[in-house]
Amino acid sequence: MYHTIYPLFNGSFSIFLKSAHFMDNIHCFAFLVVDEAGEPVLVDTGFDPKRIPSVHTSSNQTEEQKIKAAIKKLGFAPAQIKEVILTHIHWDHTAGMLDFPQARFYIQADEFRGLFQLNPNEETYFSPSHWLPLLSKIELIQGNREIKPGLKVIQNGGHTSGHQLVEVQTKSGPVYIIGDSPFNYDLLWSKIPPENWQSFREGVGKKFYWEEGVWETINIWVKERGCSGPVQGRAIPWPEIKNWGSRLLIAHDARLLKVDCID
C-alpha cells in the first residue's frame, strides 16, 4: 500500500546556555502519513513552549502550528488518529500525545529500558507528564515491525536507546522519517562538569526533573509487560543510515518548510 507524507511544522525554539546559543532556532516537525484509503498515522506530536527544560529559552509557535491544529487544517479530526508512532520520547516529540485520546502509541521497549540507564543530566530530556497518563495506550515494540502494509518501524537507537525511524512506501519509492537520528549530544554534555548539573538540579533547574514516584510507576509498568532489563537493541550508525539514500526526513530540518507533501 502506498502513502502520502505531510510534514507538519510545529514552530521553533532556542535554548541558551551561559549567554551562548546551545540550540538556536530549531525547527520542529511531525508527520502525518495517509494511506490510499485515507487512513492517517501520525509520527511524533511536537513540543510545548511552556515545557522546554531550560531556564533561558525562546520559542515561536502559533496556535495553528500545534499538531492538533495542523491536522485539522488537512481535514482530519484528532479522534481519527488511531495510531501514533513516536520516534523517541524526548520532550520535543511528545507534547501533543494527550490530544489524541483514541490513539495507540507505538514506542520501542528499549526507549523505556534506557530510562534506567540515563546520565545524570538526561532526566530533563524527557517530560513524563506527556505520556504517563497514557501508559495503558502505549504498545511496546521489540525491534522492527510492520505497523501496516507499506509502513514499518526500524529500531536504530543512537539518539536514544529506543529511537526508531519509519519506513514509508510511497508511489515514488521508500521514504524514511528518521526523527533525530543524526544527532548525538554526548560530547557536548560531557564538557559540562558534574557539579554544574548538581547545582542546576538543586537550584533553578529543579522543576525540570521528575516528581517523586515517577520512576517507580515506570518500573512497575515495564515489569508488568515483561520488558524490564537492559537495553537489547543494536544502534545503527548514522553513516549507515545516511547511505540509504536522499529521501530521509529529519524532524528538525528547516528545508521541510518548502515541502507540502511527499508521495
Question: pLDDT digit string (tens) for 211-257?
Answer: 999 999 999 999 999 999 999 999 999 999 999 988 999 999 999 99
Q: Would you state the pLDDT for residue 187?
A: 73
Task: Note whether 183 and 242 are within 8 A (CB).
Answer: no
Please write down the long-range contacts of 156-160, taking CB distance under 8 Å and 24 or more positions apart. 156/181, 156/235, 156/236, 156/241, 157/110, 157/231, 157/233, 157/234, 157/235, 157/236, 158/184, 158/235, 158/236, 158/237, 158/238, 159/88, 159/183, 159/184, 160/88, 160/89, 160/90, 160/111, 160/114
Q: Name the pLDDT band for 149 (thresholds 50, 70, 90).
A: very high
Report the C-alpha gap between 210 and 62 in whole angstroms: 28
Q: Would you state the pLDDT for residue 196?
A: 85
Q: Would you state the pLDDT for residue 253?
A: 98
Report the C-alpha gap between 124 and 218 in whole angstroms: 16
Mean confidence (pLDDT) of the chain: 94
Per-residue pLDDT at 259 exceeds 70: yes
- Specify burial of residue 257 (Cβ count, 10 A radius: 0-12, 13-18, 19+): exposed
Could you tell me the three cell numbers for 132? 504517563
Find where cell 495542523 sits. Answer: 70
Q: Name the pLDDT band for 126 (thresholds 50, 70, 90).
A: very high
Question: pLDDT digit string (tens) for 42-55?
Answer: 999 999 999 999 88
Q: Name the pLDDT band for 20 (thresholds 50, 70, 90).
A: low
Q: Would you state the pLDDT for residue 22?
A: 72
Q: Would you state the pLDDT for residue 18?
A: 61
Q: Would you state the pLDDT for residue 67?
A: 98
Q: Where are the beta strands (DSSP E) in 78-190?
A: 83-85, 104-108, 138-141, 145-148, 151-155, 164-170, 173-179
pTM of the entire predicted model: 0.96
Question: pLDDT digit string (tens) for 23-75?
Answer: 889 999 999 999 999 999 999 999 999 999 988 899 999 999 999 999 999 99
Q: Would you state the pLDDT for residue 39?
A: 98
Q: Which domains does the chain have, with CATH numbers?
A: 3-258 (3.60.15.10)
Question: pLDDT digit string (tens) for 79-119?
Answer: 999 999 999 999 999 999 999 989 999 999 999 999 999 98
